[in-house]
Amino acid sequence: MERISVIAPIFNEKENIVRLITKIEETLKKRFLSYEIILIDDGSTDGSGELLDEEANKNGHIKIAHFTKNNGQTAALDAGFKIATGDLIVTMDADLQTNPEDIYTLLPYIEKYDMVNGMRESREDGLKRKISSLVGNGVRNFVTGDNIKDTGCPLKLFKKEVVKSFYLFEGMHRFLPTLAKINGFSIIEIPVRHYDREFGTSKYGIFNRLFKGLKDAFAVRWMEQRKLNYKIKD
């Protein structure tokens, strides 16, 4: 029986937590008998941590991990990847700007590919963020030589061996498709829906995306160029 794990980092998302859990669970129950929802509290200060514990006490499908301080999205995803026990792994943000239902849009492609990257059809979060995303993706692809159109889309689907192959450093959540390719896995991008945030505030802006992303892009390029590539004689 196939098991699926859904991972979402949580940082000051108290207003979204119950909605997030409800929508994920309603979605997964349509197909999966075996599933888990992994929510990583990234040092929240708004009461999110306490609410997460309350929800986990009521629902055995929920797993919670609490960071001692805010460590960022890469650390939260890395922790989730280590906890996950599913054959399939899904990542998404807690703000519900992507729809858990679109897991089923990605799912058919996992039979042929190792990772399916969501690609937001239309950005619904303002001109400034649209521009920052466009510039960020363009710069990353220019530096790394990749052609990923929307590496920042939070909705991603992986086979478990893909996430278990990752050795992540800070900021590497922006490069998961490229890192998967470096590790020899096949990738496809598939359009998914995108919505405006209903509650809470975004934790990202142009400057903390662009300049950090540029620095990290050169690190990924270095990794690509230094990748070991050898074969052993029969």
**Contact call for residues 7 and 81 (beta carbons, < 8 A):** yes
Ordered by start, the domain boundaries in the chain are 3-225
The structure tokens listed for 55 are 């929800």
Rounded CA gap, 209 and 50, in Å?
Answer: 29
Task: Mention the CATH class of domain 3-225.
Answer: alpha beta
User: Stretch 122-128: mean pLDDT, rounded?
Assistant: 54
pLDDT of residue 13: 95
Rounded CA gap, 131 and 62, in Å?
Answer: 36
pLDDT of residue 134: 56
**Contact call for residues 102 and 192 (beta carbons, < 8 A):** yes
Q: What is the pLDDT of residues 35-78, one digit of tens each?
A: 999 999 999 999 999 999 999 999 999 999 999 999 999 999 99
pLDDT of residue 226: 75
pLDDT of residue 63: 98
pLDDT of residue 225: 75
Q: What is the pLDDT of residues 131-180, one digit of tens each?
A: 455 555 655 655 555 677 788 899 999 999 999 999 998 888 988 999 99
Highest mean pLDDT among 43-47, 219-223, 227-231: 43-47
Rounded CA gap, 29 and 155, in Å?
Answer: 18
The structure tokens listed for 232 are 């052993």
pLDDT of residue 69: 96
Rounded CA gap, 38 and 40, in Å?
Answer: 7
User: Stretch 189-199: mean pLDDT, rounded?
Assistant: 81
Confidence band (pLDDT; 50, 70, 90) for 33?
very high
Rounded CA gap, 172 and 219, in Å?
Answer: 9
Average pLDDT, the chain: 86
pLDDT of residue 137: 60
Q: What is the pTM of this model?
A: 0.84
